[in-house]
Amino acid sequence: MFRKILVANRGEIAMRVIRACRELNIATAAIYAECDATAIYVKKANEAYLVGPGPLQGFLDAEQIVGLAKRIGADAIHPGYGFLSEQAPFAELCQQAGITFIGPFPHTLALLGDKVKARELAKKIGVPVVPGTDGPVRSVEEALAFCRSVGYPVMVKASAGGGGRGLRVARSDEELVAAMESGAREAQAAFGNAELFIEKFIERPHHIEFQLLADLDGYVVHLGERDCSIQRRHQKLIEIAPSLVLTPRLRAEMGEAAIALARAAHFHNAGTVEFLLDQDGRYYFIEMNPRIQVEHTVTEQITAVDIVQSQIWIAAGRPLMFGQHEVSLQGYAIQCRINAEDPQNGFRPSSGKITAYLSPGGIGVRIDGAVYKDYTVPPYYDALLAKLTVRGRTWNETVRRTHRSLEEFVLRGVKTTIPFMMKIMEEPDFRAGRFDTSYLDTHPELYNYEHVREPEDLVAALSAAIAAYEGL
Ligand code: ADP
Ligand code: ADP
Ligand code: MG
């Protein structure tokens, strides 16, 4: 087993990896930027190293990170999500330095990081994909011809895209031409690759994704699915497990398809195969994410499998310890992304000092947090402050418990998604399980809420008093 893991990430996911390592008795080294020297994960790691220059460069500088790992005697690197987690050259650099990259091999990363190639692989092995162009589109004429043949609306996608970026819906020839132009520009700037392809736009689908674990012997299991249909601008806000709409037969079939894809890609690590499920119950592969995902927590809560520890075991060469028939899904789980964003102002990011913090607790409540009272939220990173994951025996119980937990949650000083999440937990369609990816656009009433709530003020005052007392 590894002796020391360098965690090449920050915030809640760095904390998540550090927790897994602690339980496995593996030492951890964190990296941080100057603006984040007081972050929780920096304090909780066994060692911490300043990387730079500036707030971002250090997390993206493969040579610096691998050099550091060698210098401090780390035998593995956990990339978390985002940053370098899907970069084949980074995995290759690790390999050359004799350091284990906790993720798939470079050629698998390169394959899956290219949505066009991943689609081709799915097609080759008989997994349905969204009707789309055969490979990248090379000219506007080619794009127009395709769209006229399948009909609008369509979605223009960046081959190298991710994180909900590089996606554009077009409903006419004019919109298509505009989407191609701005899409290519954005893709070049964001991913260093302007290649685009086009898919038919599926109306009101569910986003259903399967969590996989695959070991180095080629053994693959799935841990069931998540429904991540509650999205804003193609970015997930709330994730649930299991789906409320999959039948056991469909679950088995889609799970098999996901496993077949992982095998065909020679994949090992924890990974996710994403599908769209349309209103007629047909499913289509959209992409595979070869890394840990933000929403892995809901699967952990209903399967009791530690996915991050599994990643580490797998990277260390240990075969999976259980088979598909031993995976059972117990109850329901809901994850709310507590972001430093203001939903009432177009989800504008909010940074600054946290003036009060008290996380909820009680039965079925899990917090994966990265902040505390007096921590200053830097403006440079994505807005995720904490993840609230709640489990219950039934869907209704889980929704009610999530609402209760959000009500308890005190987080002051920055605007957060907490009140908006509470509105969703109160909303009849959500409570009845009637939602798809159009949910937020079709429920404008969710944005009507008041900010200041008195019971929270009382709890905040109490928590400050307790903190002051403990500090004596
Ligand atoms: P997904 O939406 O694919 O499920 P997650 O919700 O797990 O991904 O988010 C992973 C994080 O990594 C997010 O912060 C997302 O913005 C970021 N991310 C993922 N892929 C990319 C990419 N290709 N470029 C930039 N950021 C990315
Ligand atoms: P990313 O790599 O940014 O996560 P995805 O291809 O996974 O991009 O798509 C993100 C989201 O965009 C999906 O969850 C879905 O809501 C929407 N989406 C993607 N492709 C389509 C499509 N063909 N039709 C309708 N919605 C789509
Ligand atoms: Mg995706």
Tokens of 151: 């009909």
Q: Read off the pLDDT of residues 238-263 as tens digits, 9 standing for 90 and up.
A: 999 999 999 999 999 999 999 999 99
Give yes or no for residue 390 having a pLDDT over 80: yes
Q: Which ligand is nearest to the CA of 167?
A: 2
Whether the Cβ atoms of residue 190 and residue 166 lie closer than 8 Å to each other: yes
Percent of the chain with pLDDT over 90: 94
How far is CA 87 from its chain centroid? 16
> Mean pLDDT across the stretch 159-183?
95
Give yes or no for residue 460 having a pLDDT over 80: no
**Residue reference for tokens 């605007």:** 415
Q: Whose CA is nearest to atom 11 of ligand 1?
A: 82
Q: Give all strands (DSSP E) within 372-469, no chain letters.
A: 376-377, 384-392, 410-412
In CATH, 4-102 is 3.40.50.20: yes
Q: What is the pLDDT of residue 472?
A: 61
> Across the strands, what pairs with 4?
27
Alpha-carbon distance of 40 to 426, in angstroms, equals: 32
Q: What is the pLDDT of residue 311?
A: 98
How many secondary structure helices (H) and strands (E) does the chain include?
16, 22
Q: Read off the pLDDT of residues 82-126 as tens digits, 9 standing for 90 and up.
A: 999 999 999 999 999 999 999 999 999 999 999 999 999 999 999
**Residue reference for tokens 């970026």:** 165
Mean pLDDT for the chain? 96
Where are the chain's structural domains?
Answer: 4-102, 131-200, 206-447
Alpha-carbon distance of 211 to 78, in angstroms, equals: 18
Whether the Cβ atoms of residue 154 and residue 170 lie closer than 8 Å to each other: yes
Give yes or no for residue 463 having a pLDDT over 80: no
SS3 content of the chain, % helix, strand, coil (to 5): 40, 25, 35
> CA angle 29-310-392, nearest 5°?
110
Give yes or no for residue 454 having a pLDDT over 60: no
Give yes or no for residue 224 having a pLDDT over 80: yes
Alpha-carbon distance of 370 to 367, in angstroms, equals: 9
CATH homologous superfamily, domain 131-200: ATP-grasp fold, A domain (3.30.1490.20)
Whether the Cβ atoms of residue 190 and residue 182 lie closer than 8 Å to each other: no
> Mean pLDDT across the stretch 154-159?
97
| Cα 324 to ligand 2 centre (Å) | 28
Q: Ligand 1 within 6 A of 152 CB?
A: no
In CATH, 206-447 is 3.40.50.970: no
Q: Ligand 1 within 6 A of 163 CB?
A: yes
| Cα 464 to ligand 2 centre (Å) | 43
Testing ligand 2's pocket by substitution, the residue of 119, 226, 234 carrying the most ligand atoms inside 8 A of its CB is: 234
Whether the Cβ atoms of residue 269 and residue 314 lie closer than 8 Å to each other: yes
Give yes or no for residue 18 having a pLDDT over 60: yes
Q: Read off the pLDDT of residues 20-66 as tens digits, 9 standing for 90 and up.
A: 999 999 999 999 999 999 999 999 999 999 999 999 999 999 999 99
Pick from 283, 112, 111, 135: which is nearest to 206 by CA? Answer: 283
